[in-house]
Amino acid sequence: MESLTIENFLKAKNEKGEVSREVCAALEALCSAATKIAKLAAGNGIGTDNLGSLTGAENTDGDEQKALDVLADQLICSTLAPTGVSAYLSEERDEAVIFEEGRDSQIVVASDPLDGSSNIDTNLTIGTIFSLYPAKAGNWLREGRAQQAAGFFAYGPQTVLLLTTGQGVDGFCLNEEGHFVQMDWQPQIPATTKEFAINAANSRFWPAKVQRYIDTLLAGVDGPRGTNFNMRWNGSLVADAFRIFRRGGIFLYPEDSRKNYENGRLRLVYEANPIAFLVEQAEGRASDGKIDILDITPTSYHMRVPLIFGSADEVDSYHSEQ
Ligand code: AHG
Ligand code: MN
Ligand code: MN
C-alpha cells in the first residue's frame, strides 16, 4: 500500500472542510523547516558543527541559548514568513514577529523551536513543538481550546510528527526520500498505566501533594496502589510525550519551591497547550493539577504552568491525591 504524504493528507482534510488552506500552508512550512532541523541535528559534531554550544545569550525565560535553539527558531520564522500567517510567537523571542500589518489570515503560530536543548549533544531525542490558532493584532494570545492545529516533531532514531487538527491524532515519519508519510498507527493513549515520568532530583522542592502521589507509586505492590510502577525521564518533553502516545504513562512537571518554579518549568503557549491538544485528541488528559490546560487563559507569551498529562485514569489519580 502506498503511504500517504502529509501534503496529500492535508489536501484531503481541506477538501472535507476540516482544515483551511492557510492552516495547511503553515503546516507544510513547518514540515519543511523540521526536515532541515532534523538534518542539522543528525550532522551535529561532524566537521565544524557544534550545535549544542552556548551562544552566550539567554531567552526571555533565562535559559541559555544554544546554537541549535537559534538556528531552529530562524528556520521556522523564515519558512513561515511567505505562508500568509499573521504572527509567529517563539520561546526564543521576547516579542511576537508580526509578518505584515494588515494580513487578515489571523493565524498565529506559536513554537518551541527546539525542545530538549540539554540533549542536543547527547544523541537523545529533541524536537520542535507548535500550535496554530486564530488571534488578532493587539492580542496574539488565546486559550488552548482555540487551537486549530498543534503537534510536535521529534528528532530521534526516526524523525516523526504527531499532528492534530481536532479530529484525533495522526502520526507521520520522515522517509528516506525526505517526505513525511503517514504511519500505520492511530495514536491513542491507554487510560491506565504503570509508568511515570518526573524529574525526581527536584523531590525536596515538591509540594506535599506531589510527594505523596509519587510515594504511592514508588511503594509498588506493597503500597496503596498494589502494583509496581516503572519510571522514565528523558529531559526532552517531546520524547517523554511520544512514548506516552505509544504506550501510555503519566508525565509531571509540577510547581516546586525553587526560585522561578512556582508554576513549574514548561511554557503554556509553546509547550503545554499543543501537547494538551494532542493528548485530549488521543483520549488522554492534561491539567495543571487543578484545571485542564486548554481552559487556562494565557496572560503573557512566556508564562509557565505546572503540566501533568497522559493516561486519563492516572491523571485522575493525581487529582484525587490531597
Ligand atoms: P527547552 O529545551 O525547550 O527549554 O525545554 C526543556 C524542557 C522539557 O523538554 C523537559 O521536559 C524539561 O525542560 C526538562 O527540565 P529539567 O532539566 O528541569 O528536568
Ligand atoms: Mn521545551
Ligand atoms: Mn526550546
Give 87-104 pLDDT, tens digit per residue. 999 999 999 999 987 677
Average pLDDT value for residue range 172-187: 97
C-alpha cell at 188: 491513542
Ligand 1 contact, 220 CB (< 6 A): no
* Number of Cβ within a 10 Å radius of residue 153: 27
Question: Is 188 part of any domain?
Answer: no
Residues 6+ apart with CB under 8 A from 256: 202, 205, 206, 207, 210, 262, 264
pLDDT at 78 exceeding the cut of 80: yes
Q: Is 73 in the pocket of ligand 1 (CB under 6 A)?
A: no
The Cα 26–Cα 112 span in angstroms is 15
Alpha-helical runs (H) found in the chain: 6-15, 21-42, 67-80, 208-218, 237-247, 273-281, 312-320
The answer on pLDDT for 276 being more than 70 is: yes
Residue 116 Cβ inside 6 Å of ligand 1? The answer reads: yes
Whether 169 and 22 share a structural domain: yes
Which pLDDT score, from 0 to 100, does residue 256 have? Answer: 98
Q: Range of 135's domain?
A: 6-182
DSSP 123: T
Q: Does a structural domain hold residue 66?
A: yes
Q: How many CB atoms are closer than 10 A to CB 263?
A: 17
Same domain, 177 and 270: no
What confidence score (pLDDT) does residue 61 get? 82
Q: Is 143 helix (H, G, I), strand (E, B) or coil?
A: coil
How does the average pLDDT of the chain come out, rounded?
Answer: 96
How many Å apart are CA 181 and CA 221, to the nearest integer?
Answer: 42
Binned at pLDDT 50, 70 and 90, residue 48 comes out as confident
Mean pLDDT of 74-79: 98
Q: What is the pLDDT of residue 200?
A: 98
Cα of 14 vs centre of ligand 3, distance in Å, is 30
CB of residue 66 inside a 6 A radius of ligand 1: no
| Residue 1, in any domain of the structure | no
**Pairing mode of beta strands 169-174, 180-182:** antiparallel
Residue 158 corresponds to which amino acid? Q
Same domain membership, residue 71 and residue 167: yes
Answer with the one of 122, 157, 182 that is the final residue of a domain: 182
Are residues 157 and 223 both part of a single domain? no
Query: Closest ligand to 236 CA?
Result: 1
Give yes or no for residue 15 having a pLDDT over 90.
Answer: yes
Work out the burial of residue 145: count CB atoms within 10 Å of its CB; fewer than 13 is exposed, 13-18 middle, 19 or more buried.
middle
Nearest to 86 by CA among 140, 130, 10, 128: 140
Which ligand 1 atom sits closest to the C-alpha of 116? 2
Q: Amino acid identity of 291?
A: I
Question: Do 69 and 125 fall into the same domain?
Answer: yes
* Pairwise pLDDT comparison (51 vs 264), residue with the higher score: 264
Q: Are residues 164 and 231 in the same domain?
A: no
Dist. CA 160–CA 150, nearest whole Å: 14
Of 132, 160, 182, which residue is a domain's last? 182
In a domain, 94, yes or no: yes
Give yes or no: residues 138 and 287 share one domain.
no
**Res. 59 pLDDT band, cuts 50 70 90:** confident
> pLDDT tier at 50 (50, 70, 90 boundaries)?
confident
145 and 135 in contact (C-beta within 8 Å)? no
Could you give the number of structural domains in the chain?
A: 2
* Least confident interval from 20-24, 78-82, 100-104, 199-203: 100-104
Judge contact between 132 and 23, C-beta under 8 A: yes
pTM of the predicted model as reported, rounded to 2 decimal places = 0.97
Ligand 1 centre distance from Cα of residue 266 (Å)? 7
The rounded Å distance from CA 267 to ligand 3 centre is 10
pLDDT at 134: 96
Instruction: Give pLDDT tens digits for 96-147.
Output: 999 987 677 789 999 999 999 999 999 999 999 999 999 988 899 999 999 9
Q: What distance in Å separates the CA atoms of residue 210 and residue 21, rounded to the nearest whole number?
A: 44
Say if residue 134 is in the same domain as residue 257: no
The Cα 315–Cα 309 span in angstroms is 6
204 shares a domain with 142: no
Same domain, 58 and 105: yes
Residue 279: give its domain's CATH number. 3.40.190.80
Residue matched to cell numbers 502516545:
245
What Å distances lie between residue 46 and 40, 56, 176, CA to CA?
Answer: 10, 22, 20
**Angle, CA of 96, 120 and 44, to the nearest 5°:** 105
Radius of gyration of the chain (CA): 19
28 plus 174 within the same structural domain: yes
In a domain, 24, yes or no: yes
**Higher-scoring residue by pLDDT: 205, 50:** 205
Q: What pLDDT, on the 0 to 100 scale, is given for residue 3?
A: 87
Q: According to the model, what pLDDT value does residue 104 have?
A: 74
pLDDT in tens, 27-47: 999 999 999 999 999 998 887
- State how far the Cα of 185 lies from the Cα of 188, in Å rounded to an integer: 9
Q: Is the CB of 263 under 6 A from ligand 1?
A: no
Question: Which residue from 60, 130, 196, 237 has its CB within 8 A of the most atoms of ligand 1, so it is best to mutate?
Answer: 237
Whether residue 190 lies inside any domain: the answer is: no
Query: Would you place residue 1 in the very low, low, confident or very high pLDDT band (cuts 50, 70, 90)?
Result: low
Distance from Cα 14 to the centre of ligand 1, integer Å: 35
Domain boundary among 139, 156, 182: 182
Residues identified as active-site: 63, 69, 91-92, 112, 114-115, 271
Report the alpha-carbon distance of residue 275 to residue 293 in Å, rounded: 9
Is the Cβ atom of 188 under 6 angstroms away from ligand 1?
no
In a domain, 257, yes or no: yes
- State residue 102's pLDDT score: 62
199 close to ligand 1 (CB < 6 Angstrom)? yes
User: Which residues are within 5 Å of ligand 3 (an ion), measured at CB?
Assistant: 91, 112, 114-115
Tell me: do 152 and 199 sit in the same domain. no
**Residue with CA at minimum distance from ligand 1 atom 6:** 116
